[in-house]
Amino acid sequence: MVEFTIAQLLMLVTGVAAAAVLAGIMAGLLGVGGGIVIVPTLFWILSLTDFPRELAMHMSVATSLLTIVFTSISSARAHHKRGSVDVGLLRLWGPGLVLGALTGGLAAKYIDADGLKLIFGGVALLVALNMASPKTLVVSNSLPKGKLLNAMVSYVVGTFSSLMGIGGGTLGVPILSACSVEIKRAVGTAAAFGFLIAVPAVVGFVISGMAAPNRPPLSLGYVSLPAALLILPFTVSFAPVGAALAHRLDGKWIKRAFAVFLGITAVRMLMAGLS
């Protein structure tokens, strides 16, 4: 069982709280899932302690997903009130997202820590490049017509979102935008994707981690309940702050600044996975 010194506990609490504040602000400001901030921050903090190296990435991902279960509900309700959640698209992509997320959670048992780092770093780098681009990538004038192709796309989004510990916005919004879905509709619907991804993904990570040795106290599989309870109040409280800032600041430059932050984080995660 993992044990922390008082100094390490203070560092963990302070670092996780700071990451949660930033995640909440970024979620409201740019519509990205808080997991894209929480996962790397929690991982780097744990790496500075005596936390088992083979557990740090798995628990960072799984804990982030548990927080997304609750924050996605709040976000999706707010978007639904404004009429920006496409229920038809939710039904079309829902089964693929759920199955993909469950697959990712269960598959985590067979992917080592370095593998998860490479997946996170690689996909995050692509997201950063897309965010830094001055023009939105458009590959189609509409979503795919066939149900099978939609199921395949949503399954991939669900699987990789689960393995990265992120909600539906980080991957869902760029893909929907590339298919010419109006941005407010894409963001609002992707907010609802987060719940469909996070719930089955958490179930998968709980099952995968039940037999993992050296887990810290109050862990449910790979999920750290104390860390999740610490993160949630900050992400929920500061998301409205980010939304308010979005109406006052130049979103273009904020988006590019976050792309730089995310790019640096992605490269560091790739280097950690390859070392």
Specify the amino acid at residue 270.
Answer: L
Number of alpha carbons in the 13 Å side-chain half-sphere of residue 60 = 32
Residue from 187, 231, 238, 197 nearest 30 by CA: 187
Which range has the worst mean pLDDT, 68-77, 208-217, 246-255? 246-255
Tokens of 137: 């990538």
Residues 76-108 pLDDT 10s: 887 788 788 899 999 999 999 999 999 999 999
The answer to whether residue 154 scores a pLDDT higher than 90 is yes
Instruction: Kindly calculate the radius of gyration of the chain based on its CA atoms and give it in whole angstroms.
Output: 18
3-state SS record for the chain: CCCCCHHHHHHHHHHHHHHHHHHHHHHHHHCCCCHHHHHHHHHHHHHCCCCCHHHHHHHHHHHHHHHHHHHHHHHHHHHHHCCCCCHHHHHHHHHHHHHHHHHHHHHHHHCCHHHHHHHHHHHHHHHHHHHHCCCCCCCCCCCCCCHHHHHHHHHHHHHHHHHHCCCCHHHHHHHHHHCCCCHHHHHHHHHHHHHHHHHHHHHHHHHHHCCCCCCCCCEECCEEHHHHHHHHHHHHHHHHHHHHHHCCCCHHHHHHHHHHHHHHHHHHHHHHHHC
pLDDT of residue 215 exceeding 80: yes
How large is the average pLDDT for residues 204-229? 92
Asked if residue 252 has pLDDT above 80, the reply is no
Average pLDDT, integer, range 255-267: 84
Q: 219 — phi, psi (to 5°)?
A: -100, 140
pTM greater than 0.85: yes
Q: For position 2, what pLDDT does the model report?
A: 60
- If we measure between CA atoms, which residue out of 86, 74, 4 comes closest to residue 45? 4
In this prediction, residue 261 carries a pLDDT of 82
Q: Where are the domains of the chain?
A: 6-274
pLDDT digits (tens, 9 = 90+) for 21-39: 888 787 766 666 678 888 9
Tell me: pLDDT of 143 over 90. Answer: no
Summarize the confidence of residues 226-255 as an average pLDDT: 78
The answer to whether residues 259 and 132 touch, using CB atoms and an 8 Å cutoff, is: yes
pLDDT reported for residue 240: 75
